[in-house]
Structure 1
Amino acid sequence: MFFEGVADMLVRSAFTALALCSAAASTSALAGNTDAWSVTGGIYAYLPTISGTSAFSVPPSTGGSEASVDINKLLDHLNGVFMGSLDVRKGEWGGFTDLLYMDIGGTKSQTRAMTIGPAGLPADATATADYSLKGMVWTLGAYFHAEARPDLNVDLLMGARLLDLDQSLGWTLAGDVASVPVIDRAGHRAAGIKSWDAILGAKGRYVFGEGRKWFIPFYVDVGGGDADLTWQAMAGLGYSFGWGDVLASWRHLDYEFAEGKALQNLAFDGPAFAAVFHW
């Protein structure tokens, strides 16, 4: 992915790691009175590579052939993003929710990162393609504190994740397009997908070092429903202050869908950085 200019870098740094605020921070509230309410909030910067394959079926009224694109070869900027997150704990139980909205797009000239029809693009043809991906990922879950040791905290979690995306693709072919039907030489397609999936997982932290200030946060979940499979994993390194934590981590979020869906697969993979606050 390519981000041009300071403004784009600032937008990219706001692209937040979904569902991981509780993984890195909520267990730090275990010290002290475990029957008291505790609330955790964080500011996250996530810089992922986004990859996957999108399929666009043919609208009945227009004719033409099915189109597909290689997402990571077309995306080059974020138009906008918003995330809100909240984690609440009382005693051994807690809950978390977050909402990530993304508006991602890219335009490429002389690209072969798309196909039209079963035969794909002719060998001497390229496309000017304009692709956009807009929507949200919303996670809602509850967790139970399963393990508490001086150096290790582990929570077991269950919940649901919603992926709700709209895609659009416009293209114009150039080069040797004689073998391509006229109706397919330029066009526009739109497709959406909504996937509700149940998830199970675990999260926590391992603390070490002088004063027990350093810690390794970790998170993993797996599930399915509308998706054949969705999973995510995160691990990193953090340091605790009186007001909260700072941490760096690596996170991967993955979706696999059945054939015929508007998305065949989708993955976010990259580093995340955070400042986490506790109340």
Structure 2
Amino acid sequence: MSRFNQRRRGNAPRGVSLLGIAALLPAHAIAEEISSDWRFAASLYAWLPDIAGNTSIRTDSGVPINVDIDTILDHLEMAGQGAFGLQKGHWGAFTDVIYLGIGASKSRTRNLSIGDQPLPAAVTGRTDLDLDTLVWTLAGSYRVAASPAVTFDVLAGARYASIETKLKWEFTGDFGVVAPPPRTGNGKSSSDLLDGIVGVKGHFALGHEHKWVIPYYLDVGTGDSDTTWQALLGFGYAFGWGDVSLAWRYLDYDLKSDAPIADLSLNGPAAGVTFRW
């Protein structure tokens, strides 16, 4: 699965970033009145989600191998996440980019199926599975309300996702009457998705100086996917130069029944830093 916040006058603190997509960007501070000045924010953050879903890899023989992604993947190989946003008056915009490369190997696993059939009792497999995911969100926003303690924005935009899985396998054992795939091989499946989204974002500020901030973000959309939605709730602290924050982020895709990747969800903690000017 961005952050936005806003800025106050005098020695008041700036709002916290929503860790990539929600509080980071545009809003610079908690303001009693909407500022007509341009405000900018850039965030770097680390999101370490658990991944759940399933994919179908078609073999050379035409027999698909179905994989429950969450039973095999267990470690992050590469990641890059960042966000940028701007705000002028009531209007703002932000972009948020997530890249995750995750992979793992399993020996003597039975968490596979051949077509619609589970593996025969006498069969086990060795698998190497890699998942590469790129998610890019781009949206505009309108500030409905702003006070020293609360901001509330509505947003609309689009989210693009590129999801690719690669599988290597080796089966051992007797398939019996089940039509077997090749005993060894490799394959991949991929999906490119573009969805329109609408949502809300903002934050609540706590304390006498409003330096403690709770950012929130929620969107929902559809298009190439049946539905996609994303939510984030965090807690952060504002400094003069920007803010640091922790959050929990959830991103979900419910894909069409004939898609090679049927469903995908990413769920976990994030930590980030936002610079504002």
Shift of 1:82: 2.4
* Residues 77 and 183 of structure 1, relative CA distance in 2, 3 Å threshold: same
- Find the partner of 1:203 among 192, 201, 204: 201
How far apart, in 2, do the equivalents of 1:216 and 1:30 lie? 12
Quick one: distance in 1 between partners of 2:27 and 2:103? 36
* Larger helix fraction of residues: 1
Give yes or no for the alignment of 1:21 onto 2:24: no
Q: What CA distance in whole angstroms lies between the structure 1 residues aligned with 2:250 and 2:20?
A: 14
Number of aligned residue pairs? 260
Over the residues paired in the alignment, what is the CA RMSD in angstroms?
1.9
Contact 2:214 2:234 in 1 (8 A): yes
Distance 1:99 1:236, change over 3 A: closer
What is the aligned partner in structure 1 of residue 183 from structure 2? Answer: 185
Look up the match of 1:36: 37
Write out aligned runs for 1:75-86 (5 A). Answer: 75-86=73-84
CA deviation after TM superposition for structure 1 residue 264, in Å? 0.7
The one-letter amino acid of 1:77's match is: H
Q: CA deviation at 1:127?
A: 0.8
Q: Distance in 1 between matches of 2:86 and 2:28?
A: 12
Question: Scaled by the length of structure 2, what TM-score is found?
Answer: 0.87
Cα pair 2:254 2:263 within 8 Å, conserved = yes
Q: Distance in 2 between matches of 1:138 and 1:207?
A: 28
Q: Which residue of 1 aligns with 2:132?
A: 134
Q: Which amino acid aligns with 2:44?
A: I
**Counterpart AA for 1:225:** G
Which residue of 255, 274, 277 maps to 1:276? Answer: 274
* 1:217-275 Cα deviation digits (max 9, x unpaired): 10000000000000011112111111111111111100001111011100010111111
Distance 1:257 1:182, change over 3 A: closer
- Quote the Cα distance in structure 2 between the aligned partners of 1:264 and 1:98: 24
Does the C-alpha gap of structure 1 residues 225 and 264 become closer, same or farther in structure 2, counting only changes over 3 Å? same
Aligned to 2:236: 238
Contact 1:205 1:215 in 2 (8 A): yes
Task: State the SS of the aligned residue for 2:117.
Answer: coil
- Pair 135,47 (structure 1): closer, same or farther in 2 beyond 3 Å: closer
Residue deviations 1:132-188, cap 9 Å, x none?
Answer: 112411111100101112211011000000011222111111234334445443332
- Report SS of the residue matched to 1:72: helix
Q: Indicate how the Cα distance of structure 1 residues 21 and 100 shifts in structure 2: closer, same or farther if over 3 A, else same.
A: closer
SS at match of 1:21: coil
Shift of 1:23: 1.5
- Residues 207/257 of structure 1: CA separation in 2 closer, same or farther (3 Å cut): same
Looking at both structures, which has the greater relative contact order when contacts are Cα pairs under 8 Å and sequence separation is at least 6? 2
| Letter of the 1:21 counterpart | G
